[in-house]
Structure formats: C-alpha cells, structure tokens
Amino acid sequence: RKRVRVHHLREAKERGERITMLTAYDFPTARIFDDAGIDVLLIGDSMGNTMHGHATTIPVTVDELIPAVRAVSSAARRALVVADLPFGSYEASAEQAFASAVRMMKEGGAHAVKFEGGRRVAAQVRMLTEAGIPVVGHLGFTPQSENLLGGKRVQGRGEDAAETLSADAVALQEAGAIAVVLEMVPAPLAARVTEILRIPTIGIGAGPDCDGQVLVWLDMAGVGDWSPRFAKKFGEVGKALHDAASAYADEVRGGTFPDAAHSFSE
Ligand code: KIV
Ligand code: NA
C-alpha cells in the first residue's frame, strides 16, 4: 500500500471518492487506524481535551504535541500525518507559523500541518506552502476561538455568515491550502463550499456532501461518556476496555490469574 500523498487527496475529490480522516495521539491506535485504511491521521489539539482532560484546547502547546506527532508518524505506514498547530503558535505572523510547522516536521515527522482561520491566516498558509509545507485549513466552529465565538455552536448560519465562510475557504485555497476542514457548518453550506473549491473539504458536523469526513477517534469508537451530536459511535471500545480491566481484576483477586500456562515453572 503506497503512502497517501497530497495529490491523492485532490485526485480523490476529482473521482468522487471520500477521504477518511481520524485523530490519533499515540502509536498503538495510529497503527490500528493505519492498518484499517484511514487515509489521514490528525494529531489534533483535541488531545488536550481527550487525552489530558483539559476543558478546552487553549492550554495545548507545541512541546506537548510533538511526542504524539512522533508516535503517530512512527506508526503510520500509509496514512498522511497532519499535525495541528495549537493556540498561540501561529496567529502572530507567518514566521511564527513557519517556526512551529518546522518543529512539527523535524521533531515530530509530520507531513503537513493544520491551523484554524480563514483570511486572517492566509499569509501563514502562503509562506508555509512556498516553503514546501502542506497546510490544511480549518473553518466553521474553530475551538481555539471558542471564547470569541460564544461557545460550541454551528457557524455560517444566515447569508452573511455563509458568504464570509465561503470567502475564507476560497482565500485558503488561493493561498495554497491542500484541504479545508469544515466543523459544525450547515450541510447545505458545506455542500456549496465543496462545490466551489478545487481542493477537498473534510467535514465534522458538516453533513454528507464534503469530500471527506473526520472524527475524534474516541467519539468514533465509543470511549468516554460524552460525545457531540454529530459524532456517531461506531464501536464500544470504552466498554470493551472496562470489561477487560474488570475481568483481569476478578481473576487476580480470585487467584485464577496467573495460572500455570502464564507462569515459569523453573
Ligand atoms: O483537534 C482536532 O481533533 C480537530 C478535528 C476535530 C478536526 O481539529
Ligand atoms: Na484541532
């Protein structure tokens, strides 16, 4: 199986083949998702919430993400590995974004980076692209701006907001972005943006007409007790882990583990 590359994403859009993307934050899950044929693995700053228990993505740092990026890069034999740039690591200037992206690539082994925003980060997208770094955009509900957006809510409702989002998407494309994530956007608007753009759209809570879909893997697999309305549970991995841990505890307490088969007789 050949490595997924940037041009494969564009070709998938042209052929109408859906692109699959999941978050991953460590070696074993990344290896499982890669083996399952997931095209793109994202080390999302959602790691702050899902793995480190923070309430938001605001505290996440480049230093924290890099070991996760390195683990996922080591595991991925086929998937394209995309690293999020966390809050505060790219907004100030193209130079700041470039420095952060270089760390994700040199120290983490990422193939591409993703960051939030439209026209306000177009200069960043352009500079990185000119430097040979593929950039994925992220529009709609952008969690790093949650305080400004007034909470976790659908974006692009109403004609003015829809126009703004479409113009931002086109600006990202013109600046060189290789794809755009659309998060919590009305399905008809996501469909319209997908039709306007030559580059693929990857939806999360953005309806069925995007060129691809992404989910946070714990939501997808059923780990944890909370998941957003748009995230379908495709498994009961949380329950499976719970059951395995309690079966182990039962056998240890009952003295049935370890038995002879799991012991050294001499
Ligand atoms: O951090 C993340 O997991 C993301 C995806 C939800 C797109 O940005
Ligand atoms: Na993110």
> 164: domain CATH number?
3.20.20.60
Confidence band (pLDDT; 50, 70, 90) for 70? very high
Confidence band (pLDDT; 50, 70, 90) for 95? very high
In the reported structure, the alpha carbon of residue 250 is separated from the centroid of ligand 1 by a whole-number distance in angstroms of 37
The verdict on 37 and 132 lying in the same domain is: yes
pLDDT score for 51: 96
The verdict on 243 and 184 lying in the same domain is: no
- Residue 206 to residues 19, 154, 252, Cα–Cα distance (Å): 14, 9, 47
The total of other beta-carbon atoms located within 10 Å of residue 102's CB is 14
Residues sharing a CB contact under 8 Å with residue 178, sequence separation 6 or more, in sequence order: 6, 9, 10, 112, 134, 135, 136, 199
The verdict on 127 and 247 lying in the same domain is: no
pLDDT 10s digits, 72-90:
999 999 999 999 999 999 9
77 assigned to some structural domain: yes
The whole-model pTM stands at: 0.97
Has 114 been labeled as part of a binding site? yes
- Catalytic site positions: 183
Summarize the confidence of residues 140-153 as an average pLDDT.
95
The verdict on 69 and 164 lying in the same domain is: yes
Q: Which two tokens stand for residue 75?
A: 């595991």
How far, in Å, CA of 265 to CA of 66, rounded? 44
230 assigned to some structural domain: yes
- pLDDT of 225 above 90: no
Question: Which residues does a 6 A CB cutoff place in the pocket of ligand 1?
Answer: 23, 42, 44-46, 84, 138, 181, 204, 214, 216
The verdict on 102 and 175 lying in the same domain is: yes
Confidence band (pLDDT; 50, 70, 90) for 227? confident
The verdict on 149 and 112 lying in the same domain is: yes
The verdict on 88 and 173 lying in the same domain is: yes
Residue 27 burial by CB count (10 A; 0-12/13-18/19+): exposed, middle or buried? middle
- pLDDT of 113 above 90: yes
CA-based angle 25:40:196, to the nearest 5? 130
pLDDT score for 122: 98
3-class DSSP assignment, residue 139: strand
1 assigned to some structural domain: no
The verdict on 136 and 224 lying in the same domain is: yes
Query: CA neighbours within 13 Å on the CB side: how many for 110?
Result: 32
Has 116 been labeled as part of a binding site? yes
3-class DSSP assignment, residue 22: strand
How far, in Å, CA of 76 to CA of 85, rounded? 19
208 assigned to some structural domain: yes
The verdict on 36 and 132 lying in the same domain is: yes
Name the closest ligand to CA 49: 1
pLDDT 10s digits, 42-62:
999 999 999 999 999 999 999
What domain range includes position 247?
A: 236-266
- pLDDT of 1 above 90: no
- pLDDT of 226 above 80: no
How far, in Å, CA of 85 to CA of 181, rounded? 14
Residue whose token pair is 């809570």: 205
Query: CA neighbours within 13 Å on the CB side: how many for 199?
Result: 21
How far, in Å, CA of 236 to CA of 6, rounded? 32
The verdict on 101 and 172 lying in the same domain is: yes
Q: Which residue's CA is the nearest one to ligand 1's atom 3?
A: 44
Among 19, 25, 214, the mutation site with the greatest number of ligand 1 atoms within 8 A of its Cβ is: 214
The verdict on 263 and 194 lying in the same domain is: no
For residue 45, which atom of ligand 1 is closest to its CA? 1
Number of structural domains (the chain) is 2
Has 211 been labeled as part of a binding site? no
